[in-house]
Amino acid sequence: MKKMLNAILGKKIDQTQKFTSQGKRIPVTRIQAGPCVVVQMKEEAIQLGWGERKEKTTKKPILGHIKKAGLKIIPRFLREIGAHQPEISANLKIGDEIKAGDVFKPGDVVNVIGTSKGKGFAGVVKRWGFAGGPRTHGQSDRERAPGSIGSTTTPGRVLKGKKMAGHMGHQRKTIKNLEVFEVDAKNNLLLVKGLVPGPKNGLLIIKKVSEGKPRAEEAKPEEQEEPRKQETEEKNAS
């Protein structure tokens, strides 16, 4: 069996829910995963392209990079995926398409990387969960203030990393060990258990961590009942 790349690019569609055969409700995230195109091959990384953009809105360095690869479509996003195994690079070449069904199957464990939603400029109460100051004793303007930020003569400065007001959100986040609930290979859709970072249509990198096993609730009812029937027949016979 050929070794394929263990990651793919995609976008977050929305969040919904699914039900197992046992009636258990599971929150899932729908992800449009691929198809991605191989743009560049390096020694320890493979550059993938996803989406499509117009030529007139593309900067000349990127346009030259895409034309050098001989691609007909200009990808909207370009990201490098680590590929340290020579067997993986040997099975790929520039221009190849990688689809969701080629990489994932139900039960696989994945890490999803995205950029969290930007919340703008936020104070310390919203950003860090500060309690704020007292409402009494005439402090009408101190309720959501951060309080003192300085130190004494030693060190005589504000230390780096001090929790203060500032830009909240819009950070690269990784959600680890999510399970692939369902794979729609025809439409390149992934259903992942749980929630992933970022807004709708936000770029995601989905990396497979380990191969998964089929879930027990997916087994057919006949397959689950047959062993029980055999056990009862053996007990009656004895």
> What confidence tens digit (pLDDT) does each residue in 2-19 have?
556 788 999 999 999 988
User: Contact 148/85 with Cβ under 8 angstroms?
Assistant: no
pTM, to two decimals: 0.75
CA distance 215 to 20: 10
User: Contact 10/34 with Cβ under 8 angstroms?
Assistant: yes
CA distance 201 to 10: 9
CA distance 107 to 179: 6
Q: What confidence category does residue 186 fall into, taking pLDDT thresholds of 50, 70 and 90?
A: confident
Query: Of 33, 114, 43, 25, nearest to 84 (Cα)?
Result: 43
Lowest mean pLDDT across 130-134, 155-159, 231-235: 231-235
pLDDT for the residue 116:
94
Most confident of 98-102, 134-138, 213-217: 98-102
Q: What confidence category does residue 171 fall into, taking pLDDT thresholds of 50, 70 and 90?
A: very high
* Residue-averaged pLDDT of the chain: 83
pLDDT for the residue 223:
44
CA distance 120 to 170: 9
Q: Is the pLDDT score of 221 beyond 90?
A: no
> What confidence tens digit (pLDDT) does each residue in 78-132 have?
988 887 666 666 677 888 888 888 888 888 899 999 999 999 999 999 999 999 8
Q: Is the pLDDT score of 225 beyond 50?
A: no
Planar angle of CA 79, 85, 87, nearest 5 degrees: 110
Q: Is the pLDDT score of 224 beyond 80?
A: no
User: Contact 52/74 with Cβ under 8 angstroms?
Assistant: yes
Arithmetic mean of pLDDT, 42-54: 85
Residue ranges per domain, the chain?
A: 121-169
Q: Is the pLDDT score of 220 beyond 80?
A: no
CA distance 15 to 127: 25
Q: Is the pLDDT score of 1 beyond 50?
A: no
